[in-house]
Structure 1
Amino acid sequence: MRISTLSIYNNATSQLNTLQSALARTQNQLSTNRRILTPADDPVASARALEVSQSREMNAQFATNRTSARSTLGTVENALQNAGNLLQDIQQLTVNAGSGSMLPQDREALAIELEGRLEDLLGVANTTDGAGGFLFSGYMSTTQPFTRTPDGAAYQGDQGQRQLQVGASRKIPLSASGTAVFENNRTGNGTFQTQAAPGNTGAAIISSGSVTDRALANAGRDYKLSFTVSGTPAVTTYSVVDTTTAGTEVPVPGQTAIAYEPGKTISFGGLSFDIKGVPADGDVFTAKPSEKQSVFATVTDLIAALRAPADGSSGKAALTNSLNTALDNLKSAHDNVLTVQASVGAHMKELDYLDSAGDDLDIQYAATLGDLQDLDMVKAISEFSIQQTTLQAAQMSFKTMSGLSLFNYL
């Protein structure tokens, strides 16, 4: 079979190009340390590598989110720590106000100091995150959460709780709403609250009380305890009525015309408390289910109580009852702040665990990508040497073959 010179040249050029392409591909693999240069090299491994790469990038983004969340939670924790310190200070001032040696001017000085503490507490509630957003305004991060009012402070935010994705299946709350931190404080002992009526003229003081029967105490009943002083010598008795239904007073069984003994425990409806001192005829005390009250309202009421006249035994008793009520409510507010602070601490600890898990996951992703993409360097170098030798042999043989001609012998 006769082979034309053109065919010889075309076949040789094609083979040389193929060998050069293979050598260039191997050289690219060596320079990049990658086995897969294009998806065509290994379609299955390329698809899997793409999935793993995307998962690794998401894991890196979650790590960035955790850093941001830790920063925000740190700011929230500092704000809550400051709020707790302020509430402790206010409680100490309240205890000092109960001293029998206090003069009106002394109580006025305490009231002025408490006004400063109230402004400080309001400043903490309006803390920003350093980027212009407010920590305790819910989703309304650009709205100042609290504004001063005559009876405390009004909340302007919402009940939302901002969250950030910090893991494939985990979102972390970045803060709590202002209502949850500063307004959801249970009055009294947390189940019910005892109070003296503002118009009392006696010198009786009521305790916060405790729960003896949780089921009965949680029934949500309102009670009124009224004192009667009559006879010669004077005999003091009290009666308890249920005032839950507006406009009606239903006597509590077994609690009618009971002889009063100072300090003796009074129990009914799952509640237990005592009254000390000397009540006057017509004095009234109430026991109602605990309600939610803003800490700003508590401090405002406390300031008003310190500035109210406290003359005589009745005035001192009214002041003591007001201070006891304030202390109960302040303790509840402090406990609530500590609860939120503990929740923030738990979230920060969880971020540490998620960081550790994320680091382990990143190592796993890197190992998987290495198995899919990394080049076997020894094998590639050996292949490169073989291809280089083959190309050189092909070039030499082509040179020799292309130099053959009959004209060299004529």
Structure 2
Amino acid sequence: MADRISTYWMFSQPVSNMTRLQSQMNLTQQQLSTGLRILTPADDPVGAARVLQLDQDIALTEQYERNIILLDSRLTEEESTLDAINETLGRIRELTVQAGNAGVLTDEDRMAIAQEVEERFDELYDLMNAKDGAGEYLFAGFSGSSQPFVRNEAGGYSYEGDEGVRYLQVSSTITLPSSDSGKDIFMDIKSSETSFSTYANPLNQGNPIGRISAGLTVDQEALDAFYPHDVVITFENPLDIDPAEPNYTVRRKSDGRILEGMQNVPYVTGDEINVAGMSVRLTGAPSPGDQFVIETSSKQGLLTTAEKFLYTLESYPPGTGFDDVYDANIASTLSNLDNAIDRISQVQARIGARQNTTESVTNQHADSKLAAKDVRSKIRDVDWVEAVSRLQMESLTLQAAQQSFAQTSQLSLFNFIR
């Protein structure tokens, strides 16, 4: 029994030691091959927990950096588009000043100005419907997939976006707008004087469809006195008048009261409708029940300003008895263009402030990420000098154990029996 126990110990103990030494050497080799000291949480539970926290902090910082890249890209595109719009507005303002020199303006000059204004008008429309690199409209608010500014078939333009502003988080405490609402930039612009806009009921059934012009202010005092009421032009049954023919009635929108002298007025396409100091023109063949709305406002959208200027050039040329109306609307156009340019400049200033913030935050993220990676490296990464020395020691120890076992395993009492 004693010989059997002694032989078992002689083999099992060295083999166990060699297995342990081999395992230690394998671990050291794996650490050297990966460059990591902590390969599993069991290697250093406290260190592994700290490394996991640092990994999460670094990943969050990198997400913030990606948000900043996306934000900067969108802001750069918005700023570039606003620069182009400002340039176009500057040219329209130059044309407005030229149009104001009525004393030296010929009909050919006026028509040339009108033609370029129309081209610049289309250019503005395209720029205000610009898209970003992801194919979403820059100025549509939350409705990035919907075109914000729409040219209505019945005349005028409408804003189909919303007033939402998208935000991106760029740090744990800072969230910045990545967009600006087109309504805020291009629609809610303070007018130099009380103004108005026009639109048609989208349910109108005329064939050809009735259209309403942008209109023009012909009596500012009358408009100021009428403000803030709105006007609804409703087409009535042709049989309501004798002889039967298309006719319309003009009502105050707030209470439906018919304005004086504006009931069952015979309609002639292209004729002007003058009400409360406002002049608009209807064309087409509206059906009974069709409605057109004139809304008074202390604000005037950018497209409306350009549209009214074009309407002034085409409908109230100098020398036709409306010089006062022409001059007043040229002056109003200049003031409203200046207001629009100021609004865009304010938005550009906000964009610049955001870009300055992102630059500062980017530098902070770079510093914090570098510090976190340094701490993580000290905890997680292998000490090359120590690990190489340890591997050499473990290799020598294993070789010695193997050689020792090779010699002792050959010992037997039979070798000493004669």
Same fold (TM over 0.5): yes
Give the one of 64, 71, 74 matched to 2:73: 71
Counterpart contact for 1:187–1:291, Cα < 8 Å: yes
In the other structure, the counterpart of 1:164 is: 168
Q: Distance in 2 between matches of 1:136 and 1:93?
A: 27
CA-to-aligned-CA distance 1:189-247 (integer Å, 9 cap, x gap): 7xx78xx97259xxxxx9xxxxxxxxxxxxxxx669xxxxxxxxxxxxxxxxxxxxx99
Counterpart contact for 1:188–1:290, Cα < 8 Å: no
Say whether 1:13 aligns with 2:15: yes
Give the one of 73, 82, 92 matched to 2:84: 82
CA-to-aligned-CA distance 1:305-352 (integer Å, 9 cap, x gap): 112334559622221111111111111011111111221222222222
Give the one of 188, 199, 202 matched to 1:184: 188
In the other structure, the counterpart of 2:95 is: 93
Unpaired stretches in structure 2, ≥5 consecutive residues = 196-215, 227-254, 258-276, 278-295
Q: Distance in 2 between matches of 1:293 and 1:40?
A: 70
Distance 1:337 1:148, change over 3 A: same
In the other structure, the counterpart of 1:198 is: 218
- For 2:354, give the aligned amino acid: H
Instruction: For residue 94 of structure 2, give the secondary structure of its aligned residue in structure 1.
Output: helix
Instruction: For residue 4 of structure 1, give the secondary structure of its aligned residue in structure 2.
Output: helix
- For 1:198, give the aligned amino acid: V
Unpaired stretches in structure 1, ≥5 consecutive residues = 201-205, 207-221, 225-245, 248-283
Counterpart contact for 1:310–1:318, Cα < 8 Å: no
Q: Distance in 2 between matches of 1:33 and 1:61?
A: 26
TM-score, normalised with respect to structure 2: 0.72
Give the one of 52, 61, 64 matched to 2:63: 61
Q: Distance in 2 between matches of 1:59 and 1:39?
A: 24
Structure 1 position 37, deviation (Å): 1.5
- For 1:335, give the aligned amino acid: D
Q: Distance in 1 between matches of 2:171 and 2:97?
A: 47
In the other structure, the counterpart of 1:239 is: none
Say whether 1:335 aligns with 2:337: no
1:302-321 to structure 2, matched below 5 A, reads: 302-310=309-317, 315-321=322-328
Q: Distance in 1 between matches of 2:146 and 2:125?
A: 14
In the other structure, the counterpart of 2:372 is: 365
Structure 1 range deviating more: 164-173 or 46-55: 164-173
- Root-mean-square deviation over aligned CA pairs: 3.0
Structure 1 range deviating more: 376-385 or 15-24: 376-385
TM-score, normalised with respect to structure 1: 0.73
Q: Distance in 1 between matches of 2:388 and 2:145?
A: 62
Q: Distance in 2 between matches of 1:407 and 1:298?
A: 117
Give the one of 148, 152, 168 matched to 1:145: 148
Structure 1 range deviating more: 177-186 or 386-395: 386-395
Number of residue-to-residue matches in the alignment: 330
- Over the matched positions of the two proteins, sequence identity in percent amounts to 35
- For 2:74, give the aligned amino acid: T
Structure 1 position 183, deviation (Å): 0.5
Runs of 4+ more than 6 Å apart: none
- For 1:128, give the aligned amino acid: K
1:222-371 to structure 2, matched below 5 A, reads: 291-310=298-317, 315-371=322-378
